[in-house]
Amino acid sequence: MGGMPGATDQTLRPFLWRAQKMFPDREVVSRTHEGRERYTYSEYGARVAQLANALAGAGIEDGDRVGTFCWNHHRHFEAYFAVPSMGAQLHTINPLLPDHHIQYIVENAADRLLFVDPSLVEKLAGAYDEDAFESVEQFVVMGSEVPDTPLENVTDYESFVGGEETDYDWPNLPEEQPAGMCYTSGTTGKPKGVEYTQQMLWSHTMASLPEAGLDLRSSDVVMPVVPMFHVNAWGFPFSTTAAGAKHVYPGPSPTPEDLATLIEEEGVTITAGVPTVWLGLLEYLAENDADMSSLERIVIGGSAAPKSVIRRFDEEYDVTVTHAWGMTEMAPLGTVANLKPGMESLPKEEQYEKQAKQGLLVPGLEMRVVDDDGEEVPWNGEDFGELWVRGPWVTTEYFERPEANEEDFEVPAGGASGQSADEVSGVWLKTGDVVTVDPEGYVKIVDRAKDVIKSGGEWISSVELENALMANDNVAEATVVGVPHERWQERPVAFVVPTRGTDEDSLKAELIEMVEDEFPKWWAPDEVVFIEEVPKTATGKFDKKVLREQYDDQSLVE
């Protein structure tokens, strides 16, 4: 008080408080290694307090990092509120990453304590490295017993929290306090650490609630299938709590059957995850009976939602796909492909077309789309450019990665009223995604900036070529990368996994012809290389850098 006017800081605490006090009987349900658990927000709040007391007892202090190596379940959800609300920083680690990335991440973040799932203890022990894990003092296994493991200082969660007080005097944190941390997926290089302040998580939560965000209501039953180690499960643990809605966590490696059962038995209204999960569910539903009548919406993101998936869920199950785009750097929500008023009277196919785009920027953010010369690209649905975003939940720097900061952020020329460079607002994140924007403002991702092929001054979308190739029945998988070319700068080369027994020569001719038919002639790949499998990253995205490295020395195109 005194000096500047202002209000109380933005922190996660009020969301926990509100759910506990105003929706004490609403449920948190969780599939775990041990079965299905269920309790109320009121009990949840008590356990969150117990966990904070246990962490304080274990010496965790304001500003310390606590890591998790876990699937989606209630104990992980307890850590989601306990760790940041006591002033520490929740660092979610992707257990699917290769060992050397896990080592880099734990060492870089200097986690003091790690929570680990029973089924992931072995993986973690395998990745364990004395130097990289030097900061880690204790492991807590997410269950009620400790499995056999070479790891030292291991407790089980229930003993860790059991007997602790069910109250905690949550501190008044400043909004700049780091609350979370997550590393990017490493699709384009070494994973980069992103720190989320209390304010960023508060803002992201508030932005997730309205229609123009993810549209959460207290009557909803929300099941995030997207892992809690992927950008806070897209913020659902926080936003569902803020809405006072019911949580359903699908636990370790859920199968399509597990998901269908939980939807049916818990009355899930909203679920969320990457496209492959929903392809799997569609396959399961085609063969098995399951009651999907409670389900209203599936939020799909992480990769592009195929139009066919959007169509099938609408036609066959009356479920709306909410296609969204985001990034680790933005906590992650960026755009949502909601239809605008009036569009519900368009022909269904046109509606699906809009929904298959990545959508409209969420209120509170700003964007621009710029070409190679830094000029803004017109919103005509055709011209490409790199998407830049900024806003209260978009980071303005990576953790200890000055070279990546240099590359991925753009500081505007001047600030307001004589601010120093450090205080300048309005920093843009250069997303590395290449997009078109249509006249209605719908963003469509056409490629990654690192994957887009620059040929003779024009851009070729590797993603569009891949989709066209994969539409061929004799193609199991395909990816397209640009390789250096003396005259044209870069030219596309296709890597194709043919289905068993296909004649490669005739398939090649067929594919080239098809591309020449559908796209400008010069988009046709200069070469089609047949391979056995497209290499993938830990999160299942095509790993083009591996292909590029692999074919670096071989002059595929002259």
Ligand X SMILES: Nc1ncnc2c1ncn2[C@@H]1O[C@H](COP(=O)(O)OP(=O)(O)OP(=O)(O)O)[C@@H](O)[C@H]1O
Considering only residues 246 to 305 of the shown chain, the ones binding ligand X according to CB under 6 A are: 301-304
Q: What span, in angstroms and rounded, lies between the C-alpha atoms of 87 and 9?
A: 13
Which span (150-158, 418-426, 470-478, 529-537) binds its own copies, by CB under 8 A?
A: 418-426
What lies within 8 Å, CB to CB, of 503 at 6+ separation is none
Kindly write down the DSSP assignment for every residue of 470-495, as one continuous string.
Answer: HTSTTEEEEEEEEEEETTTEEEEEEE
459 catalytic residue (yes or no): yes
* Residues between 85 and 114 that touch its own copies (CB under 8 A): 87
- Checking DSSP bridges between strand 320-326 and strand 333-336, what pairing results, if any? antiparallel
Q: Which does 286 bind (CB under 5 to 8 A by kind): ligand X, its own copies, Mg ion, none?
A: none
Q: Give min distance, CB of 86 to its own copies, in A.
A: 10
Nearer to ligand X, 227 or 250 (CB): 227
One character per residue 123-162, x = contact with its own copies (rule: CB under 8 A): ----------------------------------------
Q: What span, in angstroms and rounded, lies between the C-alpha atoms of 270 and 335?
A: 18
What lies within 8 Å, CB to CB, of 480 at 6+ separation is 453, 462, 465, 466, 469, 492, 493, 494, 495, 525
> Which letter does DSSP use for residue 165 in this model?
-
- For 537, the token pair is 């990253």
Interface with its own copies includes 366 (CB under 8 A)?
A: yes
Sole binder of its own copies in the list 411, 471, 509, 546 (CB under 8 A): 411
Q: Give min distance, CB of 56 to its own copies, in A.
A: 14
Which span (26-34, 129-137, 218-226, 428-436) binds ligand X, by CB under 6 A?
A: 428-436
Q: Give min distance, CB of 188 to its own copies, in A.
A: 21
123 catalytic residue (yes or no): no
Binding site for Mg ion (CB under 5 A): 184
Q: Give min distance, CB of 292 to ligand X, in A.
A: 22
Q: Give min distance, CB of 486 to its own copies, in A.
A: 39
- Catalytic option among 71, 459, 488, 523: 459
Which span (13-21, 41-49, 309-317, 321-329) binds ligand X, by CB under 6 A?
A: 321-329
Interface with its own copies includes 396 (CB under 8 A)?
A: yes
One character per residue 172-211, x = contact with ligand X (rule: CB under 6 A): ------------xxxxxx-xx-------------------
Nearer to ligand X, 240 or 328 (CB): 328
**Whether the Cβ atoms of residue 61 and residue 108 lie closer than 8 Å to each other:** no
- Catalytic option among 164, 195, 266, 329: 329
Q: What span, in angstroms and rounded, lies between the C-alpha atoms of 421 and 412?
A: 10
Interface with its own copies includes 10 (CB under 8 A)?
A: yes
Nearer to Mg ion, 184 or 455 (CB): 184
Nearer to its own copies, 232 or 462 (CB): 232
329 catalytic residue (yes or no): yes
Q: What span, in angstroms and rounded, lies between the C-alpha atoms of 461 and 463?
A: 5
In the block, residue with structure tokens 């780091």: 178
Instruction: Tell me whether the omega of the peptide bond preceding residue 256 falls within 30 degrees of 0, making it cis.
Output: no
**Whether the Cβ atoms of residue 116 and residue 140 lie closer than 8 Å to each other:** yes
Nearer to its own copies, 289 or 423 (CB): 423
Q: What span, in angstroms and rounded, lies between the C-alpha atoms of 200 and 151?
A: 35
Q: Which does 405 bind (CB under 5 to 8 A by kind): Mg ion, its own copies, ligand X, none?
A: its own copies
Interface with ligand X includes 436 (CB under 6 A)?
A: no
Q: What span, in angstroms and rounded, lies between the C-alpha atoms of 460 and 491?
A: 9
* Residues between 165 and 184 that touch its own copies (CB under 8 A): 171-178
**Whether the Cβ atoms of residue 66 and residue 82 lie closer than 8 Å to each other:** no
Nearer to ligand X, 74 or 323 (CB): 323
454 catalytic residue (yes or no): yes
Sole binder of ligand X in the list 431, 455, 461, 479 (CB under 6 A): 431
Q: What span, in angstroms and rounded, lies between the C-alpha atoms of 165 and 47?
A: 9
* Residues between 262 and 291 that touch its own copies (CB under 8 A): none
Interface with its own copies includes 212 (CB under 8 A)?
A: yes
Interface with its own copies includes 206 (CB under 8 A)?
A: yes
* Residues between 509 and 548 that touch ligand X (CB under 6 A): 541
Kindly write down the DSSP assignment for every residue of 338-360, as one continuous string.
Answer: PPPTTGGGS-HHHHHHHHTS-BE
Q: Give min distance, CB of 182 to ligand X, in A.
A: 8
Three-class secondary structure of residue 40 per DSSP: strand
C-alpha dihedral (391, 394, 397, 399), degrees to nearest 10 = 150
Cα 468 from chain centroid?
25
- For 185, the token pair is 């997926």
- Checking DSSP bridges between strand 221-224 and strand 178-183, what pairing results, if any? unpaired
- Catalytic option among 123, 430, 450, 454: 454
Q: What span, in angstroms and rounded, lies between the C-alpha atoms of 268 and 222?
A: 6
Active-site annotation, residues: 184, 329, 454, 459
Residues lying near ligand X in the complex (CB under 6 A): 184-189, 191-192, 301-304, 323, 325-328, 358, 431-433, 445, 448, 541
